[in-house]
Chains A and B, each alone.
Chain A
Amino acid sequence: MAYNFKETMNKPERLAPGHRMCAGCGGTIAVRNVLRGLHEGDKAVIGNATGCLEVSTFTYPYTSWEDSYIHNAFENAGATMSGVEGAYKALKRKGKLSENFKFITFGGDGGTYDIGFQSLSGAMERNHDMVYVCYDNGAYMNTGIQRSSATPMYADTTTTPVGSQSDGKPQNRKDLAAIIAAHDVPYVAQTTFIQNFKDLHIKSEKAIYTPGAAFLNIMAPCPRGWRYNTPDIMEICKLAVETCYWPLFEVVEGKWILNYEPKSKKPIEDFLKPQGRFKHLFKKENEYLLEAFQKEVDRRWEELLFRCSGTVNR
């Protein structure tokens, strides 16, 4: 079915308003759009790792979730949903349940790349019929902008502060989508908020309705942690894609597919400049850091092109 922006956006909200997430938060944009991938009338159980999303959307006695929802702890969203999905299979097999359910778990990059990595890896390897969605804002934002293994190189965070002896985070970010793809799961995709949300919508729907384990990595900017002008979120996402910092791709049954190739790749400065966390890179004496950043983006982009060779399409 062709993507219809108006129709998609007018679907009933499954994350009700009134929650306590920040204005302009990328996390809730990711959640609402992923949930639009569910077909109307289909039931779902939503899982959630501890993080901003959990503490702000399910503060007792209120919940924003229209579907059944479970938060267990920080590091075990994958395992928890394994159990929910296991219960579903068992109850179906025993004839105690006739309705169909879908299983979607959300975690930030802290709960996904780092502390929840083992639990996620186990759930993906066991190929539970579920979607794990990482809303990746590149740091532990809930506890106050500490570095994670998703934090890009040189970012100024509260545990990699820029100082006279520090240029920010010394290491590159972990390529989690590739790592999950190496688990040989049926569907992996990386996306963000682009144009009319078509890319995110299509990938969400595919992830939800692909039997077996699926993983979505969604770049979800955090205006507080990244320190950009809050209303510019769509522009930030566009620059992440146009500079090839955050490429849009899918891995379907092991096959790598590049979904978008910019006509002319923009310099990485365009993405970094509007963000306060990279302010120090634009000092005259730090030009070499920008060069190193660019070099890393280029290396990863080339690697991705190689993986996707011959498959630039949608």
Chain B
Amino acid sequence: MAKRDRLSGNEAVAIALRQINPDVFPAFPITPSTEIPQYFASFAANGEVDTEFIPVESEHSSMSAAIGASAAGARALTATSSCGLAYMWEELYIAASNRLPLALALVNRALSGPININCDHSDSMGARDSGWIQVYAENNQEAYDNMVQAFRISEHNDVRLPIMICQDGFITSHAVENIELLEDEEVKGFVGAYEPENYLLNPECPMAVGPYSVTDYYMEAKRNQAEGTRHVERVMLEVAEEFEKLSGRAYGLFEAYRLEDADRAVVMIGSAAGTTKDAIDKLREKGEKVGLLKIRLFRPFPADAIAEALKNVKAVAVMDRAEGYTNQGGPLGADVMSALFRARSSALAVNIVYGLGGRDVRVEDMEQVFAELKTIIDNNDAGETYRYMGVRE
């Protein structure tokens, strides 16, 4: 039986974690993710979980301790934002290369500098090649649902990779929305027990983790890691199917919103997708064929499925809430355009950088994007393919 509630994204994720009742949760506060460990510390203090909560002295140590705990045989996770994730950078690679199924509740926030506490995706985009699975949410419900599904994907025997569950700082982490929660027992049953094959605390068989690997072996280790990545799409869809049976809420690798017959599409990640849906609904009322592809799984990148979903569009705007400093646009733009190229798409594509450091995205802004796409189709020319939205030049 689902329970209706009004919750912020942070509280919703914290409740998912209470229901999961992980073994070890090391954490260090950073805005806007601070509330997640804070809520969780109260759950632990009140005996609602029997997790070992470790309030460490830095984010580097929270990820290091999560790695130690996961290697030891525990279900572990941590939470962070922005510079905290940047400080973990070295450890992200180590977690993934050790094939440790641990989770990170990431609340997206701009990286310094200048220092800024509001949302953009520069933090997680910086970690996109670290070997972590990256899953993004549009709203509080999705943040909660993704967290519930996280360990099932990460711990799957064919995957065994760490997973980053991302939501937009303040926009979803702090805004309160109506949300449907699963019953505690339902989550417990869905997530199941963690039974690792090999672990440090196995009394029957010791294990060594983190070797020095010379030229003769390093490349095989990395190739082996890529093998885990190749199974993520399938496993994620299997888990989503099971989750739908439990919750009634359907998830895929991405969400296609009014995309089927669209000639113009926006591709984007995160909360601005909600704003874009509003713009689409308004334009559809006027008979305009516009749609949205909202990324859920960004790493690994489901390129083929995305290209297939965009195969009928004439023009596409890929929206990046992060700069890539390539003079070409942002990371999502690069990946989507490469997917379109490989699928021999003839769509005219532009990449628009928007919303940095929490810069507001309005319905009118997105209507303007669709208007620009119309001009592109009319001129049969993408024009400047690297654009900015909502900036004072």
Contacts and interface: CB of A to CB of B under 8 A. Distances in A.
Contacts of A91: 23, 72-74, 201
Nearest to A69: B208
Contacts of A66: 206
A203 to B, nearest CB: 25
A82 B65 contact: yes
Nearest to A99: B203
B67 A72 contact: yes
B65 A79 contact: yes
B72 A87 contact: yes
B54 A71 contact: no
Contacts of A121: 57
Contact of A63 (B26, B57, B211): B211
Contacts of B51: 90
Interface in A38-68: 43, 45, 47, 54-56, 58-61, 63, 65-68
Contacts of A61: 211, 217
Contact of A68 (B56, B69, B201): B201
B74 A69 contact: no
B212 A87 contact: no
B259 interface: no
Contacts of A73: 64, 90-91, 94
B119 interface: no
Nearest to B213: A60
Nearest to A101: B201
A86 B74 contact: yes
A43 B203 contact: yes
B209 interface: yes
B26 A83 contact: yes
A95 to B, nearest CB: 10
Given A60-B211, A79-B64, A90-B74, A118 B57 contact: yes
Interface in A88-118: 88-91, 93-94, 97, 99, 101, 118
B69 A87 contact: yes
A122 B61 contact: yes
B142 to A, nearest CB: 29
B68 interface: yes
B381 interface: no
B23 A87 contact: yes
Contacts of B201: 45, 68, 84, 87-88, 91, 97, 101
A126 interface: yes
B54 A84 contact: no
A153 to B, nearest CB: 30
Interface in B22-81: 23-24, 26, 50-52, 54-58, 60-62, 64-74, 76
A156 interface: no
A68 B68 contact: no
A81 B201 CA distance: 12
Interface string B81-109: 00000000011001000000000000000
A88 B23 CA distance: 9
A47 B51 CA distance: 22
A242 interface: no
Contacts of A89: 52
A83 B64 contact: yes
Nearest to A78: B61
Nearest to A119: B61
A68 B207 CA distance: 5
A76 B60 contact: yes
Q: Which one of B51, B211, B217 has the greatest number of beta carbons of chain A within 10 Å? A: B211
Given A94-B50, A122-B58, A122-B61, A83 B211 contact: no
Given A45-B200, A70-B200, A99-B203, A55 B65 contact: no
B328 to A, nearest CB: 33
Contacts of B200: 45, 68-70, 84, 87
Contacts of B210: 54, 58, 70-72
B214 interface: yes
Contacts of A43: 203
B75 to A, nearest CB: 9
B74 A68 contact: no
Contacts of B26: 79, 82-83, 86
Contact of A126 (B54, B69, B73, B91): B54
B61 A79 contact: yes
A43 to B, nearest CB: 6
The 10 closest A-B pairs by CB, nearest first: A83-B68, A83-B65, A122-B57, A79-B61, A87-B74, A87-B72, A71-B210, A76-B64, A83-B69, A79-B64
Interface of A: 43, 45, 47, 54-56, 58-61, 63, 65-73, 75-76, 78-84, 86-91, 93-94, 97, 99, 101, 118-119, 121-122, 125-126
19 contacts: A58-B208, A60-B212, A61-B217, A66-B206, A68-B202, A69-B208, A71-B212, A73-B94, A78-B61, A79-B64, A82-B54, A82-B61, A83-B68, A83-B71, A84-B69, A86-B68, A94-B50, A122-B56, A122-B61
Given A84-B200, A87-B69, A90-B50, 9 more contacts: A68-B200, A71-B212, A81-B68, A83-B71, A87-B24, A87-B72, A87-B74, A87-B76, A122-B58
Interface of B: 23-24, 26, 50-52, 54-58, 60-62, 64-74, 76, 90-91, 94, 200-203, 206-214, 217, 221
